[in-house]
Amino acid sequence: MVPHMALREGSPREWGTNLARVKDYNEVVVLDLVRSSGSIGRPAIAAATGLTLQTVSNIARRLLAAETVVEDAVDGSGRLKRALRIDPDAGYAIGIQLVRSSLAVGLVDLAGDIRGRATTAIEHDEAPDRVLARLPGLVGDAVAAAGVPRERVLGAGIGAPGPLDLHEGRLLNVLHPRSWTHFPLASAVADVLGLRVIMDNDATAAALGERWRGVGEGAESFVYLYIGDGIGGGLVLDGQAYRGLRGNTGEISHIQVDAAGPPCECGSNGCLALFTDAAGLLREAARAVLEAPANRPVEDAPVTLEELVAHPDPRMAAVLDRGGEHLARVVVECCRILDPELIVLGGPLVPLLGGPFGAAITHGLRSIDEPGAPPPRVELSTSGSDAGVIGAATLVLHDVFAPTARKLSLVSLPHSQSESHAV
């Protein structure tokens, strides 16, 4: 067994080893570097991984034979050189995103692009069995839209709202819709699709998707804030998703930010989501309208988040500012504990809320600015409403194609046994 410290020596990319017994792990290291680089030659791969040029050449031949990468001739200072790049069509994964009102499905290629998609609405408190009965048709539609052979589909990933029991693949105390509480989602999806399924917290899945293809690519430690129906957090630490004991790291929605605030459905008061998600912001806007003096009423009170964000009244802008300030305080304390290099704001509401929330977080992080140690930078994801689906699919792609400590721990097993852990 290769010592665990082999993962920690040198730069994050220097994870390769020339021992024959970890041949498969080295292939994944090289493939991940090729994917993230876009196009890279063998000497550069050897320099980045610490593998010998001969080892890299052997791995490249195997990856080319498996049609996982392709080789191009590129112009290099007057002479042609060979460079490897990923073949996006080498593998696909199904991404499934469960939210309060809908179930979205996307077929995602190895480059992280959605090639086909389908969505179904979830009626109020609709039973999960009824919803999942529509899932094979949705997946079939997404695959057909992409024109992809089914045998190229590696598996399905699910991004679900927490809290979750990831060991059992089960939803726990789901507040919306309540009929999904304690539902064994992972096994149910595997049964109806006949595919291997990986389930994770939606924010963690989106964070992995952002690292696979997004502003988090190349970042070793970052906090991902998922801004959608609720507020969730995903953590990537030392290049790996951090899930905690039960898989529910990053459940920041119910951190109390105002003890005197309104009651929350979780049983507490003044939780973060009450001031930062769409429903909470509109409720705070309605309260500001009611509290406006008779001689200075709020004209055209907003009834949608879009109307609130665009509203010219400074009292409506103050609602957004307070939400951003509450979120910023939580993020600052997370950064004091974790010391990440990056904060990413993602999810379907980023086009509306990313600007004011990002500005508030950037301002709040100045409190931990020290000479020689600047605060983490703040970036807005460009995935938008696709973040959940892409993230869910990359649970599978990451499991198959990305180097992890778990893969390194399996290298001493017989080849047939280690393969059973992959899709």
What's the confidence (pLDDT) of residue 342? 96
- Rounded Cα distance, 31 and 70, in Å: 11
Residue 48: CB atoms within 10 A of its CB come to: 20
**Angle, helices 314-338/350-365, rounded to nearest 10 degrees:** 60
Radius of gyration of the chain (CA): 23
Residue ranges of the chain that CATH labels 1.10.10.10: 4-86
Reported CATH class of domain 222-382: alpha beta
Fold of the CATH domain 4-86: Arc Repressor Mutant, subunit A (1.10.10)
- Rounded Cα distance, 65 and 59, in Å: 10
- Rounded Cα distance, 268 and 259, in Å: 8
Using an 8 Å Cβ cutoff, are 156 and 196 in contact? Answer: yes
Average pLDDT by consecutive 10-residue portion of the chain (423 residues)? 28 46 73 86 91 91 88 73 88 90 92 92 88 94 90 91 86 76 92 92 90 86 90 90 84 92 90 93 95 93 95 96 96 94 93 95 89 87 86 88 62 35 30
What's the confidence (pLDDT) of residue 45? 92
Residue ranges of the chain that CATH labels 3.30.420.40: 91-212+387-399, 222-382
- Rounded Cα distance, 87 and 347, in Å: 27
> Is 91-212+387-399 a CATH 3.40.50.300 domain?
no
- Rounded Cα distance, 76 and 81, in Å: 6
What's the confidence (pLDDT) of residue 31? 87
Q: Model confidence over 352-403: pLDDT tens digits?
A: 999 999 999 999 999 887 777 789 999 999 887 788 899 899 899 888 877 6
Using an 8 Å Cβ cutoff, are 91 and 400 in contact? Answer: yes
C-alpha distances (whole Å) from 130 to each of 43, 126, 133 are 54, 7, 5
What's the confidence (pLDDT) of residue 93? 94
What's the confidence (pLDDT) of residue 23? 56
Spell out the SS3 assignment of the chain.
CCCHHHHCCCCCCCCCCCCHHHHHHHHHHHHHHHHHHCCECHHHHHHHHCCCHHHHHHHHHHHHHCCCEEEEEEEECCEEEEEEEECHHHCEEEEEEECCCEEEEEEEECCCCEEEEEEEECCCCCCHHHHHCCHHHHHHHHHHHHCCCHHHEEEEEEEECCCEECCCCEECCCCCCHHHCCCCHHHHHHHHHCCCEEEEEHHHHHHHHHHHCCCCCCCCCEEEEEECCCEEEEEEECCEEECCCCCCCCCCCCCECCCCCCECCCCCECECHHHHCHHHHHHHHHHHHHHCCCCCCCCCCCCCHHHHHHCCCHHHHHHHHHHHHHHHHHHHHHHHHHCCCEEEEECCCHHHHHHHHHHHHHHHHHHHCECCECCCEEEECCCHHHHHHHHHHHHHHHHHHCCCHHHHHCCCCCHHHHHCCCC
What's the confidence (pLDDT) of residue 214? 86
Q: Model confidence over 142-166: pLDDT tens digits?
A: 999 999 888 889 999 999 887 888 8
